[in-house]
């Protein structure tokens, strides 16, 4: 899944874009420079845990019911138009009319398995009455099922909004401290995860019918990452809360015209040394908690749900014995002092400088596994340039492919499966689709069509594709 979001220039003021000037933080909207191209947030959720690369047709059951024949056709002969249709199928663009400083946002989603385990949500939240709302965009990359991500899609923004509303509203000229904002966001995440875990425990002891219990357990048995961005138009502050390995990257134009890529979150996996140090400190004397980039077998070191890494081992065993639930962790892992996985996010705050064109990209590991932060920023920057007044979008006419006939074995022979500058193409109106197309093969039509055609996944092929 990919979303893209872009900001709208504010009413132009008669000052020069380069003129340095101070911005009053705190209570008034900040004038945008005349050339603020936008604040683009692009989010992508492509692969799910354990599935390296499979992009199948994304699809929630209702779609399948309504369009069965179409699904069959596109699986076997994705022409270029079909590729575009598949990439764009779950894309959207929103013109942000009510948010000063934000022009637009785009999103797209392409599932790596079916049913899709990823969810997203976007919209305005109002922490305080009579104050400008904040723009919220969030991605939930689910694993071992879609239920945790689905729960977060429904509940996370309301929980965060409620938590923020408990802070004293800042009066004119005041700015709520970063620390306060961070701690209430953390609390909202941790409390919501606590309710997922506790609800399942309570249900297991209840007298509800079995099928009802199982439905209630689902968000605690499955798991999900969460990446939330909140933009406050009054202070121009962008808060990013990250649980798991989705990543937020700010693209910002520097004075020399180059685009900088500024990561606003750090992937929380067993490869993250700060995360491993934290775990070791929390579980002194336990060896080998993180191995091969994983934490007790789980890729991420923080997640919602995943009760198996959180419950005391007797609770997990009880679930497993009575409900064929999450099961114990493989014997090589000793569950001595759970919880090992937390849903407490790492939160960052960045003040957006309205004098610098900037945009935000949010994407799941499905995209970041195939593209660096800087490549993604360069791609969106190129997309913005192609759309700026005076430049004509170049739609390439079909021409004979210069690429040799392709099959997946070519990955072993050196054809790169990730983004390649040499294959870059700008043809999509949606910035998220643009990123997705370029991380899947760009203008190498046979490569990208082949990937999209592999539906359903052929066992044993996912790793290379
Ligand atoms: C950890 O890093 C290694 C080496 O860079 C890489 O092969 C592996 O996929 C990474 N694992 C995760 C979970 O990110
Ligand atoms: C693919 O893109 C590259 C770089 O943009 C370009 O040089 C090449 O001609 C393109 N190939 C096709 C088949 O469009």
Percent of the chain whose predicted confidence (pLDDT) is above 70: 78
Pocket of ligand 1 contains residue 299 by CB under 6 Å: yes
Cβ pair 132, 165 in contact under 8 A: no
Cβ pair 140, 219 in contact under 8 A: no
Pocket of ligand 1 contains residue 269 by CB under 6 Å: yes
Cβ pair 345, 228 in contact under 8 A: yes
Rounded CA separation 86/76 (Å): 13
Pocket of ligand 2 contains residue 308 by CB under 6 Å: no
Question: Among the listed ranges 36-45, 306-315, 419-428, which one has the minimum average pLDDT value?
Answer: 36-45
Q: Which residue has the higher pLDDT, 380 or 44?
A: 380
| Burial annotation 7-21 (CB, 10 A radius, 16+ → b, else e) | bbbbeeeeeeeeeee
Kindly report, residue by residue over 92-111, the tens digit of the pLDDT: 888 887 788 888 889 988 87
Pocket of ligand 1 contains residue 271 by CB under 6 Å: yes
Q: What is the pLDDT averaged over residues 216-233? A: 96
Q: What is the pLDDT averaged over residues 310-333? A: 85
**Token pair of 353 as six digits:** 């400088």
Q: Which atom of ligand 2 is nearest to the CA of 424?
A: 5
Instruction: Indicate the DSSP class of residue 284.
Output: T
Q: Quick one: angle between helices 178-205 and 313-323, nearest 10?
A: 50
Rounded CA separation 229/368 (Å): 17
Output the residue whose Cα is nearest ligand 1's atom 6.
293
Q: Which atom of ligand 1 is nearest to the CA of 271?
A: 1
Q: How far is the CA of 420 from the centre of ligand 2 (A)?
A: 11
> Would the pLDDT of 179 be above 60?
yes
**Domain locations along the chain:** 90-169+177-453
**Token pair of 284 as six digits:** 């002194």
Among the listed residues 45, 87, 90, the one whose alpha carbon sits nearest the alpha carbon of residue 63 = 90
Mean pLDDT for the chain overall: 80
Other CB atoms closer than 10 Å to residue 38's CB: what's the count? 25
Q: Which residue has the higher pLDDT, 453 or 216?
A: 216
Cβ pair 238, 259 in contact under 8 A: no
Q: How far is the CA of 268 from the centre of ligand 1 (A)?
A: 12
Tokens 């705190």 -> residue: 26
Rounded CA separation 334/392 (Å): 60
Residue-level pLDDT at 268: 98
Pocket of ligand 1 contains residue 293 by CB under 6 Å: yes
Cβ pair 151, 196 in contact under 8 A: yes
Rounded CA separation 463/451 (Å): 12
Tokens 């002891």 -> residue: 205
Q: How far is the CA of 300 from the centre of ligand 1 (A)?
A: 11
Residue 444 burial class via C-beta count within 10 angstroms: exposed 0-12, middle 13-18, buried 19 and up: buried
Instruction: Indicate the DSSP class of residue 425.
Output: -
CA Rg value for the chain: 23
Q: What is the pLDDT averaged over residues 121-142? A: 91
Integer CA distances (angstroms), 427 to 188, 235, 393, 397, 437, in order: 40, 35, 8, 11, 9
Q: How far is the CA of 117 from the centre of ligand 1 (A)?
A: 22
Q: How confident is the model at residue 392 (pLDDT cuts 50, 70, 90)?
A: low
> Would the pLDDT of 460 be above 50?
no
Residues 6+ apart with CB under 8 A from 76: 453
Residue to substitute in 415, 422, 427, 441 for testing ligand 2 pocket (most ligand atoms within 8 angstroms of CB):
422
Output the residue whose Cα is nearest ligand 2's atom 4.
422
Q: How far is the CA of 444 from the centre of ligand 2 (A)?
A: 8
Pocket of ligand 2 contains residue 402 by CB under 6 Å: yes
Q: How far is the CA of 465 from the centre of ligand 1 (A)?
A: 17
CATH homologous superfamily for the domain 90-169+177-453: PPM-type phosphatase domain (3.60.40.10)
User: Which pTM does this prediction carry?
Assistant: 0.83
**Token pair of 357 as six digits:** 């064109």
């Amino acid at each position: 899944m990919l979303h893209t979001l872009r900001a709208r220039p504010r009413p132009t003021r008669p000052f020069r874009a380069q003129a340095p000037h101070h911005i009053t933080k705190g209570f008034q909207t900040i004038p945008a420079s005349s050339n603020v191209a936008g604040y683009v947030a692009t989010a992508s959720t492509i692969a799910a845990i354990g599935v390296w690369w499979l992009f199948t047709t994304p699809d929630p059951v209702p779609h399948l019911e309504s369009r069965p024949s179409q699904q069959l056709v596109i699986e076997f002969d994705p022409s270029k138009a079909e590729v575009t249709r598949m990439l764009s199928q779950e894309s959207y663009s929103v013109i942000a009319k009510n948010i000063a400083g934000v022009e637009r946002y785009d999103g797209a989603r392409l599932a790596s398995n079916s049913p899709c385990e990823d969810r997203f949500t976007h919209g305005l939240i109002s922490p305080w009455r009579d104050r400008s709302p904040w723009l919220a965009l969030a991605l939930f990359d689910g694993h071992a099922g879609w239920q945790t991500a689905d729960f977060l899609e429904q509940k996370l923004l309301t929980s965060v909004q409620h938590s923020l509303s408990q802070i004293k509203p800042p009066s004119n000229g005041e700015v709520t401290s970063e620390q306060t904002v961070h701690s209430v966001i953390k609390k909202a995440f941790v409390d919501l995860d606590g309710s997922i875990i506790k609800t399942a425990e309570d249900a297991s002891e209840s007298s509800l019918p079995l099928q009802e219990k199982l439905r209630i357990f689902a968000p605690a048995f499955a798991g999900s990452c969460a990446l939330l961005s909140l933009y406050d138009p009054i202070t121009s502050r962008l808060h990013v809360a990250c649980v798991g390995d989705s990543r937020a990257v700010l693209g910002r134009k520097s004075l020399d015209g180059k685009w900088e890529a500024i990561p606003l979150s750090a992937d929380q996996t067993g490869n993250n040394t700060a995360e491993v140090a934290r775990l070791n400190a929390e579980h002194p004397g336990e060896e080998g908690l993180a191995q091969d980039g994983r934490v007790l077998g789980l890729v991420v070191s923080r997640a919602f749900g995943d009760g198996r890494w959180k419950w005391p081992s007797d609770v997990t065993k009880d679930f497993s014995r009575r409900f064929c639930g999450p099961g114990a962790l493989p014997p090589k892992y000793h569950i001595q002092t759970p919880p090992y996985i937390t849903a407490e996010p790492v939160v960052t705050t960045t003040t957006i400088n309205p004098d610098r064109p900037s945009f935000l990209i949010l994407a799941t590991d499905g995209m970041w596994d195939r593209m660096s932060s800087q490549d993604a920023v360069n791609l969106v920057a190129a997309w913005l340039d192609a759309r700026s007044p005076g430049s004509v979008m170049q739609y390439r006419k079909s021409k004979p492919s210069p690429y040799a006939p392709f099959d997946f074995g070519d990955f072993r022979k050196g054809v790169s499966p990730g983004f390649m500058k040499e294959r870059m193409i700008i043809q999509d109106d949606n910035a998220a689709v643009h990123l997705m197309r370029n991380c899947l093969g760009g203008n190498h039509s046979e490569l990208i069509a082949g990937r999209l055609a592999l539906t359903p996944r052929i066992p044993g092929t996912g790793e290379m594709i």
